[in-house]
A and B are shown apart, each in its own frame.
Chain A
Amino acid sequence: MDPETTTGSAEDGIVETDTLVEEVSIDGMCGVY
């Protein structure tokens, strides 16, 4: 993904952020033993 596109319009920002979450494969379950 072109990082430049992440600074586009607000609408673009929402789309890119959704993609971002998928790309880094966040487990999202930290802080509980």
Chain B
Amino acid sequence: MTLLESPKAAPGARLVDLFEYGLDAPICLTWELTYACNLSCVHCLSSSGRRDPRELSTEECKAVIDELERMQVFYVNIGGGEPTVRSDFWELVDYATEHRVGVKFSTNGVKITREIAERLARNDYLDIQISIDGATPEVNDAVRGPGSFATAIRAMEHLQAAGFQNFKLSVVCTRQNIPQLDEFKAIADRYGAQLRLTRLRPSGRGADVWDELHPLPEQQRELYDWLVANGEGVLTGDSFFHLSAFGQALPGLNLCGAGRVVCLIDPVGDVYACPFAIHEEFLAGSVRDEGGFQGVWQRSELFQRLRVPQAGGACASCRFFDSCKGGCMAAKFFTGLPLDGPDPECVQGYGEALLAQRDADLERKRPSQDHSHRTTRYSKSGKVPISIGRRPDAVAALDIKPNLGVASAAARRPVNDRMDDPLADFAS
């Protein structure tokens, strides 16, 4: 893997700075194989639920894998939706690893039986992460749905029993689970897994609940301190680089990699700059285009524009800009903040003032795709009453408002009204 053309590095420049000019293949390629999902997580970054009938076929997926092999992409991060509900999922995993493209996939555990776990444990080019968003059923199921905690735990038990060592336990950090960080670590240790914490983004359905779920400012500090104290051995997906403005930089890639070293292939083959930015403004092309994925990655006009150093804009005068690089592009975009300004969760507080103006002056962007299950109830007011979980007792315990009035989601139309069954066309 090599750097794309870039200006001569300035004396004293950091090597990581050169990433701003992009690489000839992505380091972190996320591939959402399907929008189908058995769950309806309130924060789903891809608004998944129902399968899209335009989904890439098995042969199209294999052609993409062939291309990734030629580009020497080391591995793909597979998500969804719930990728394992694709009837050809295991076939695609085997095909990728046989073609020297490693696979890391994220699952809620619904298909991880004892037999599957044993099969997976035999594949050295495979990593798995099981998702939970609470260290207790009450906290987890309020976000991911009833029974989802038990499903995840059962999957981890199977992986452990099969001897799958060091699989990952994935947690999206929220206001409700930040107090459980030690408990998450204990769960990971119990099953021989490694903990990965990820930042909640206001992407997909996450836009509807971000105000209520994203960590409070004092929790950002708590999380930062916890990562500094416990970070060795805890992964973050390099997603908390905005916290580096507290002082000591966290390990990893401390810049926005969108379109530079990171991108997303969605279930229908569209290529976006970032998994958290599923919106027309960040659509670079399609693997179905002439030139395929490589053509999109190396020549799309959007990616060329993104492969320049960030100017900083309103953040340029901040002494912490070199640490946080202005934060997450998607977080700014979907909260309606300018892309050349501070992150909405800027730890120096610069984002909060802008957010205060947001409802009056700024337009919140909406995701371009919505494959949510059609169980969301639409009110006459045009606001969507979102139930975080279906257990009023758990919701009350968490002090989450059970019905969050969120404007404008009604404008998002399902991609396909026929696809009520999320698992339609899939073998059980």
Whether the Cβ atoms of B198 and A33 lie closer than 8 Å is yes
* CB-defined contacts of A31 to chain B, threshold 8 Å: 28, 30, 45, 77, 79, 237, 262, 264, 274-276
B-side interface residues, number (CB < 8 Å)? 52
**SS class of chain A's interface: helix, strand, loop or mixed?**
helix
* CB-defined contacts of A21 to chain B, threshold 8 Å: 1, 27
Whether the Cβ atoms of B41 and A30 lie closer than 8 Å is no
* CB-defined contacts of B12 to chain A, threshold 8 Å: 3
Please classify how large the interface on chain A is, using the bins under 10, 10 to 19, 20 to 34, 35 or more. Answer: 20 to 34
Partner of B79, one of A14, A20, A26, A33: A33
Whether the Cβ atoms of B13 and A29 lie closer than 8 Å is no
Partner of A20, one of B18, B133, B168: B18
Count of A-B residue pairs with CB < 8 Å:
109
Whether the Cβ atoms of B16 and A20 lie closer than 8 Å is yes
Report the separation of the CA atoms of residues A20 and B3 in the bound assembly, to the nearest whole angstrom.
10
Report the separation of the CA atoms of residues A19 and B2 in the bound assembly, to the nearest whole angstrom.
11
Report the separation of the CA atoms of residues A21 and B78 in the bound assembly, to the nearest whole angstrom.
21
Report the separation of the CA atoms of residues A17 and B72 in the bound assembly, to the nearest whole angstrom.
14
Contacts A4-B9, A6-B18; A29 near B237 (Cβ below 8 A) = yes
Which residues of B does A touch, CB under 8 Å? 1-3, 8-16, 18-19, 23, 27-28, 30, 41, 43-45, 75, 77-79, 104-106, 129, 131, 133, 168, 170, 172, 196, 198, 235-239, 251-253, 257, 261-262, 264, 274-276
Which residues of A does B touch, CB under 8 Å? 1, 3-4, 6-7, 10, 13-14, 16-21, 23-33
Interchain residue pairs with CB less than 8 A apart (15): A3-B15, A16-B15, A17-B3, A20-B19, A27-B236, A29-B28, A29-B196, A30-B198, A31-B28, A31-B45, A31-B77, A31-B274, A31-B275, A33-B79, A33-B133
